[in-house]
Amino acid sequence: MSDRRSLSFVSLVGIPEVAPGADLAEMHLAAAEQTGLELTGGVLVICQKIVSKAEGRLVNLPEVEPTAEALRIAEEHEKDPRHIEVILRETRRIVRRSHGILICETHHGFVCANAGVDLSNTPADEMAILLPIDPDASAQKLRNELIERGAGPLAIVITDTFGRPWREGLVDIAIGSAGIAPIEDLRGQGDRRGRELVVTTPATVDALAAGAGLLMGKAAGTPSVWVTGIPLIGDGSVAEDLVRDPSTDLFR
């Protein structure tokens, strides 16, 4: 990928509100036509929320019965116990909780606030949106459906907005991908002085997610971005390639 000279990021327009069971492939093909794009030779970067909505990953809070643990944590942090209960259901372990914030490790292995449970941009009041059960599988499914309908070659990257340790601000990262290697492994190659690179492994799909996030916005109504200019090399899984193994995690 080192020979690339420019990248193009274009928002897809015209994607309607997504409901459970929605045909995301058809929606994106129609949006690409409306935008004047062909979904060929690039990467379709889409926000997690529309994937979760299509897959029915929605919870009505009035239907949630908080456990004793959820009630205790909610009282300590002045939170809605129903929201806390949903977070706990999506959590493998609580990494840290303080100042009304829960940092959780999800069942996928992601470490993020509230286990990715979101109350914003939901289809109804008092509703929570959960992360997809398997974002890599969701990406692969959408890629297959698009290719079956004449798109491609292409890759898919599914994103979500995460905070970062030691830095203020939020950034979009990849939580699922298909059709592109999540990491570009440059180890063994030489730098400009000929010295061997030993740890250089850029997170390609995270970089694409961050760039696309600049065009999405929380209220822009543009959940998908088409990126061209990056070779579609390799394949892989965000869960397998980007989630650090606990044995090499120095901060556990």
Residue-wise pLDDT tens digits, 153-173 = 999 999 999 998 889 999 999
Q: Residue 187: its pLDDT value, please?
A: 43
pTM here is 0.92
Residues with Cβ within 8 Å of 25's Cβ and at least 6 positions away in sequence, in order, are 142, 145, 146, 149
Q: What is the mean pLDDT of the chain?
A: 90
**Mean pLDDT to the nearest integer, 46-50:** 97
Residues spanned by CATH 3.90.1660.10 within the chain? 58-128
The domain defined by 8-55+131-243 carries CATH number 3.30.1330.100? yes
Residues with Cβ within 8 Å of 110's Cβ and at least 6 positions away in sequence, in order, are 116, 131, 162, 175, 243
User: And the tokens for 113?
Assistant: 């606030």
**Mean pLDDT to the nearest integer, 69-97:** 95
Confidence of residue 198 (pLDDT cuts 50, 70, 90): very low
User: And the tokens for 126?
Assistant: 């008092």
Q: Residue 194: its pLDDT value, please?
A: 66
Percent of the chain whose predicted confidence (pLDDT) is above 70: 90
Q: Is the pLDDT of residue 182 over 80?
A: yes
Q: Is the pLDDT of residue 2 over 90?
A: no
Across the chain, the runs of DSSP E, i.e. the strands, are 8-11, 42-47, 58-60, 91-98, 101-106, 111-113, 127-129, 154-164, 167-178, 224-228
Q: Is the pLDDT of residue 218 over 70?
A: no
Residues spanned by CATH 3.30.1330.100 within the chain? 8-55+131-243
Among 76-90, 152-166, 196-210, name the one with the lowest average pLDDT: 196-210
Task: CATH number for 58-128: choose from 1.10.3720.10, 3.90.1660.10, 3.40.630.30, 3.40.80.10.
Answer: 3.90.1660.10
Out of 13-17, 62-66, 117-121, 247-251, give the one with best mean pLDDT: 62-66
